[in-house]
């Protein structure tokens, strides 16, 4: 089951200020990993490009960037609004990527896994299109965070689907809870099963936020290493 018009239900997808901040976070983590000069030469695929604001900003710092999304409205908006020689937008299915094996140096996958029916297939496809030694920048929501981030309902992600659907219907009028959120351990198992190694940037995000362009207050490094299992978002670099 696809959320084909997801961006139209989420005004923040078109909010330039917040999207640029997310782009800065991604760019800073990628720069920390690769270095500024190497990053300029690399090819990037964004799986879940939505309105294109994030990719437009990031494209200034990479070689070539292709953004895909299954959302017709969002991709049409991106094509019209954001034009740059090294930037391409196209409609695409994250579970059936229309690219050859070993095509990209980097795949960006932010807040996507919970929206697809088969997250295992998502990561299998990402692994397939990455070059040997290539990486996936993964920002992923955490099932253990008590306030569900899509509907802002307490403990929604803790519930079995039938009960979650009922809960959602009562408080929002929506019929179905599409998203499926994973814990740290379940997500780790999924990505390692698909032959990725993990470099966890979450503790650095928590303990050195300014270094990576985040706005929250810094947390002691020891505490940050404990909190990485319970933070609202995981920030991982997955290496093929």
95 in any annotated domain: yes
Domain assignment of residue 53, given as a range: 6-143+181-239
The token pair at 130 is 């990455």
Residues 106 and 120 in one domain: yes
Please check whether residues 163 and 212 belong to one and the same domain: no
Do 188 and 102 lie in a common domain? yes
DSSP assignment of 3-22 equals: -TTGGGG-GGGG-HHHHHHH
* Residue that wins the pLDDT comparison between 217 and 7: 217
The answer on 121 and 105 residing in a single domain is yes
Average pLDDT, the chain: 94
Q: Are residues 106 and 130 in the same domain?
A: yes
Residue 156 has pLDDT above 60, yes or no: yes
Query: Do 167 and 186 lie in a common domain?
Result: no
d(CA 200, CA 195) in angstroms, rounded, equals 16
CA distance 55 to 30: 13
pLDDT at residue 38 in the model: 96
Shared-domain flag, residues 117 and 170 = no
Task: List the alpha helices (DSSP H) in 15-69.
Answer: 16-34, 36-39, 53-58
Q: In the predicted model, is pLDDT for residue 5 greater than 70?
A: no
pLDDT digits (tens, 9 = 90+) for 62-81: 999 999 999 898 999 999 99
User: Domain for residue 1, yes or no?
Assistant: no
Residues 156 and 235 in one domain: no
Name the band, by pLDDT with cuts 50, 70 and 90, for residue 3: low
Regarding whether 43 and 29 lie in a shared domain, the answer is yes
Which of 164, 179, 194 terminates a domain? The answer is: 179
The C-alpha atoms of residue 85 and residue 93 are separated, in whole angstroms, by: 23
CATH number at residue 138: 3.40.50.150
Residue 170 placed within a domain: yes
Mark whether 135 and 171 lie in a shared domain: no
Q: Is the pLDDT of residue 140 over 80?
A: yes
Instruction: HSE, CB side, 13 Å, CA atoms: give it for residue 151.
Output: 22
pTM exceeds cut of 0.75: yes
Cα dihedral 184, 189, 193, 198 sign? positive
Between the two ends of the chain, the Cα-to-Cα distance in Å is 28
Above pLDDT 70, what percent of the chain? 95
**Three-state SS letters, 165-188:** HHHHHHHHCCCCCCCCCECHHHHH
Same structural domain, 29 and 105: yes
Q: What are 31-53's pLDDT values in tens digits?
A: 999 999 999 999 999 999 998 99
Number of domains composing the chain? 2
Q: What is the pLDDT of residue 173?
A: 93
- In the numeric block, the tokens 């936020």 are attached to 209
């Amino acid at each position: 089951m696809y959320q084909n018009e997801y961006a139209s239900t989420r005004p923040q997808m078109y909010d330039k200020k917040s999207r640029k901040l997310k782009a800065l976070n991604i760019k800073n983590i990628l720069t920390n990993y690769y270095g500024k000069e190497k990053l300029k030469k690399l090819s990037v695929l964004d799986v879940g490009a939505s309105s294109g604001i994030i990719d437009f900003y990031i494209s200034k710092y990479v070689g070539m960037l292709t953004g895909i999304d299954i959302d017709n409205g969002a991709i049409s908006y991106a094509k019209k609004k954001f034009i740059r020689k090294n930037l391409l937008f196209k409609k695409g299915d994250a579970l059936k990527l229309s690219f050859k094996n070993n095509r990209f140096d980097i795949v960006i996958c932010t807040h996507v896994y919970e929206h697809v029916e088969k997250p295992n297939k998502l990561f299998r496809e990402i692994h397939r299109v990455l070059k040997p030694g290539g990486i996936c920048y993964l920002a992923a929501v955490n099932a253990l965070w008590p306030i569900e981030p899509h509907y802002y309902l307490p403990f929604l992600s803790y519930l079995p689907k039938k009960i979650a659907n009922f809960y959602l219907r009562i408080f929002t009028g929506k019929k179905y809870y599409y998203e499926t959120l994973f814990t740290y351990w379940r997500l780790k198992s999924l990505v390692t099963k698909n032959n990725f190694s993990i470099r966890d940037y979450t503790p650095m995000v928590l303990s050195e936020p300014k270094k990576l362009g985040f706005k929250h207050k810094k947390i002691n490094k020891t505490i940050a290493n404990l909190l990485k299992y319970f933070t609202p978002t995981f920030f991982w670099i997955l290496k093929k």
